[in-house]
Every structure is written in C-alpha cells, then in structure tokens.
Amino acid sequence: MTQQVVATPSLSTLRAPRALDAITRVGVVVPARDEEERIAACLDAIARAGARLHRSRPDIVVDVVVVLDRCVDGTEAVVRSAGLVPLTAEGGVGTARAAGAQHAIARARAAGVGDRALWLASTDADSEVPEHWLQVHVELAESGLDAVFGTVEPSGASPAVLAEWRRRHCLAEGHPYVHGANLGVRAATYRAAGGYPPLARDEDVTLVASIKSTSPRWVATDRCRVASSGRLEARCVGGFADYLGALVREVG
C-alpha cells in the first residue's frame, strides 16, 4: 500500500513552533473494558510520560480521560485509586474513544484552550507507553503536523513470537500501520475528520483514513513504540489478540 508520509526532522533540531502549531494541552484518552489487572500499569506509564513532558514543557497541561466500556470487573476502582474519575460509555471501543475525545475537548475549551492547541493522544488500557511518548507527540505536532500514527509491539510474548512479529512488521519511519494504542491528532483535525465512528473494531483505521483525506500534515513513526498486551483472550473478533493467537499457533 502506498503511503503519503510527511518527512519529519530530528527531534533535536525541531524549530520553535509557530503560534498556530503550539500545543498547550494534551488529552490522553484511554478506553477500558474489564482491565483491572492491567490498567494500573497503563496509568503509571502515562504518568511517567506526563512527568517527562512537564520537565521540558511545564506550560502544557496533561489531562487523562479513562472511559469505561461496559466494565463488570474492578477497573473503575483501580482508576479511582489513581486519582481519576472515569467516564462511562456503552456501545464499544469506538463509542468509548469518541466519548473520551469529546470530554477532553470540552474540558480544554472550558479552560480557554482552542482546538488547534489541544493534542488528543490515544492509547489502550492494556498498553504501556514509553516515557518519551508525549514528548515525541508534542514535538512532532509543534513541527507543523496534525496527526501522528505510532507503532506497537506485544509485551509478554515469547521470544519466538516477538521475533516473528518484528520480522513481519515494518517498525520504522513510514510504516503502514494504524494502532489506537499509539495515535495522536490535533483536536481541530480530529473534528474536521468527523471523530471516531461508533464501531466495535477498526474505529482507529476509519478515523485515520478520514484524517488523511482532511490534512496532508501527518506522519507514521516508530519513535515512540508502545508495548501492547500480548494476551490471547480477544476483546473483539479480528482484533490484536486474535492476530497474536494466529501467530502463536503458526510459530508454535
């Protein structure tokens, strides 16, 4: 598949952002469905990423929005123990991501932050972002980009499965993948693209296709790879776990 990829400069040589590109707030959206065993690690990783961003950019506010998607376990209690008040959405991951994004936009507007200055960063409750995750997203946004599509790889997988994953995937700049666990978009671009559709799967793929038709200023990057759960129990048919399950059966 041919990809239109915007070349990005080295993070060490990025120019000072124009006022039009400056980010003053980041909304991190995390949908969660029965993730009481994993979400604490997810939120800890986001907190570390937020702390690192704060050290270099104390002017940027990081707002974490967790959206409970039909949870029947103790996920809510874990989220509240982290000092967060979760939202609740019914209808699947697309509905949950959309609810989280809209909540982040509303909170930013209430704080006087416009849609161009708000960056919506998305990950999953069973994933752990690297410490430099938000810093990379913000620096790329302020270089003039409207969207960042990152990579993931399974955590906890056997060495053989992980090696096969890496062999089959282009973990590099200009990769062809879309992962809701590592996706960022300027709020103005998100709204122009129509937001996340209310789908049970591929809501991220659908949004990215719309973003690409809306703005040419995007990049597919491997600079902030996210560790996503290597579990084999699927939350939806045809999702990440189903793919890994097939890979495990093939590798043996």
C-alpha to C-alpha distance for 212 and 229, rounded to whole angstroms: 28
List, edge to edge, every strand of the sheet that includes 226-229.
127-128, 226-229, 152-155
Ordered by where they begin, the domains of the chain are 18-159+170-231 (3.90.550.10)
Which pLDDT value is given to residue 17?
58
pLDDT in tens, the chain (252 residues): 223 334 344 443 344 557 789 999 999 999 999 999 999 999 999 999 999 999 999 999 999 999 999 999 999 999 999 999 999 998 899 999 999 999 999 999 999 999 999 999 999 999 999 999 999 999 999 999 999 999 999 887 778 878 888 888 899 999 999 999 999 999 999 999 999 999 999 999 999 999 999 999 999 999 999 998 766 565 655 566 666 666 566 766
pTM value? 0.87
C-alpha to C-alpha distance for 33 and 17, rounded to whole angstroms: 37
C-alpha to C-alpha distance for 90 and 86, rounded to whole angstroms: 13
C-alpha to C-alpha distance for 219 and 177, rounded to whole angstroms: 11
